[in-house]
Amino acid sequence: MEKSEIYKQLKLSTMDQKTEKRKKRLKKQDKKGADIKKNDDRKPAAQAADKALVKFEPLQRYLMEISKFKLLTREQEKELSIRVQRNGDQEAAYAMVTANLRLVVKIALEFQRIWMQNLLDLIQEGNIGLMQAVKKFDPYKNVKFSYYASFWIKAYILKFIMDNWRLVKIGTTQAQRKLFFRLKKEKQNLLDNGFDPKPKLLSEKLGVSEREIMDMDQRLDSWDVSLDAPLKDDTDTERMDFINAGTVSVEDRIAKKEMETLLGNKIAEFRNKITPRELEIFDQRIFSDSPVTLQEIGDRYEISRERVRQVEKNIIKKMREYFKGEIPDFDSYANGDMFV
């Protein structure tokens, strides 16, 4: 083969190698571009979250979302509320609720110093109150909706705080709910003015009894304690061990049932040991849910009321003596008013 032909073949071989490398390089660039495009197809919020130095908090995201809703004018409020009242228009109700979500946040922030936990809990309850306000609002009264709704929002937030302040509710009446929020404020006012906030002075200021002041003060200052928690770190004794259950034990219930059965049998035997007149007095006076009068029995046997009373007393005495002889340890079972 001629030298020129050899150079030509080498040149073609080199060109093929360069072409192949160029194709591989272009293929890698295409793949990289596809990956970049795939990432760019994600939602803008996700892209922004990746670029942000601090991740979005739920509260921040919620505030951003509700800021998109525009406020309503008085005319728009009235028009929407009329639609809600007359036709139950859900779209109108939705517009009124969303336009006032910022009002709920504002009120919830006022109560955060009391709750001092997740603000979204208060906002959630306030939103329920807001929906109730939309349902109850009368558009024909000259009242601004936001003013009316604030009472419903506060009511639901206050109820939530009262119900969740402790495991056990600390305010079950309207007076206790008012005292819950006013007591600490009034105590602080008295301290600021140089007075000792004693229960008597607080009761005069708040118009409630001293007992109510002391009860609420104790509830607010104490914390929930687990009954299963040990009394001390170095013992397994629990608080539950020192609390009276207040119920009758199984042993006592069984003993009482056995005693009632035994008494029933002995009463049936005792009935066979008394006279017919005594038996009638026994049935109609002593063991009757609706006992007849002494006079009725006296007229039937032509004896005085006093004599009937003496016979009745004698029957009870005989029955007691009979039970003492038939039932072991009868005195330990009998209570004071058993045969009176």
Q: For 182-211, write each residue's pLDDT tens digit.
A: 776 777 777 787 877 777 877 777 777 777
Compute the half-sphere exposure of residue 42: CA atoms within 13 Å on the CB side of its CA: 11
Which pLDDT does position 260 carry in this prediction?
A: 81
State pLDDT tens for residues 54-112. Answer: 556 888 899 999 999 999 998 999 999 999 989 889 999 999 999 999 999 999 998 88
State pLDDT tens for residues 207-220. Answer: 777 777 777 666 65
Q: Provide the residue type at 188 as one letter.
A: Q
Q: Provide the residue type at 58 as one letter.
A: P
CA dist 181 → 103, 115, 185, 299 (Å): 21, 11, 7, 70
With H, G, I as helix, E, B as strand and everything else as coil, classify residue 105. helix
The dotted CATH code for 250-333 is: 1.10.10.10
313-326 average pLDDT score:
85
pTM value is 0.44
Q: Which two tokens stand for residue 96?
A: 């009124």
Structural domain spans, the chain: 65-164, 175-221, 250-333
Distance CA 101, CA 124 (A): 10
- CATH topology of 65-164 equal to that of 250-333? no
More confidently predicted of 50 and 234: 234
Average pLDDT, the chain: 75
Q: Are 100 and 73 in contact (CB under 8 A)?
A: no
Q: Which two tokens stand for residue 116?
A: 């001092």
The answer to whether domain 65-164 has CATH 1.20.120.1810 is: yes
More confidently predicted of 339 and 123: 123
Strand partners, 238: 230
Contacts from 161-170 at CB under 8 Å and sequence distance 24+? 161/111, 161/114, 161/115, 161/122, 164/121, 166/219, 166/223, 166/224, 167/224, 168/224, 170/216, 170/219, 170/220
Place 337 in a pLDDT band, splitting at 50, 70 and 90: very low
Tell which phi-psi region holds residue 88, choosing left (phi > 0), alpha (psi between -120 and 50) or beta. left
Which pLDDT does position 243 carry in this prediction?
A: 63
CA dist 295 → 115, 152, 314, 315 (Å): 71, 67, 18, 18
pLDDT of 340 strictly over 80 = no
State pLDDT tens for residues 117-172. Answer: 788 989 999 999 999 999 999 988 888 999 999 999 998 988 887 777 654 455 45
243-253 average pLDDT score:
67
More confidently predicted of 216 and 175: 216
Which pLDDT does position 128 carry in this prediction?
A: 95
- Residues with Cβ within 8 Å of 47's Cβ and at least 6 positions away in sequence, in order, are 40
Which pLDDT does position 240 carry in this prediction?
A: 63
Place 238 in a pLDDT band, splitting at 50, 70 and 90: low
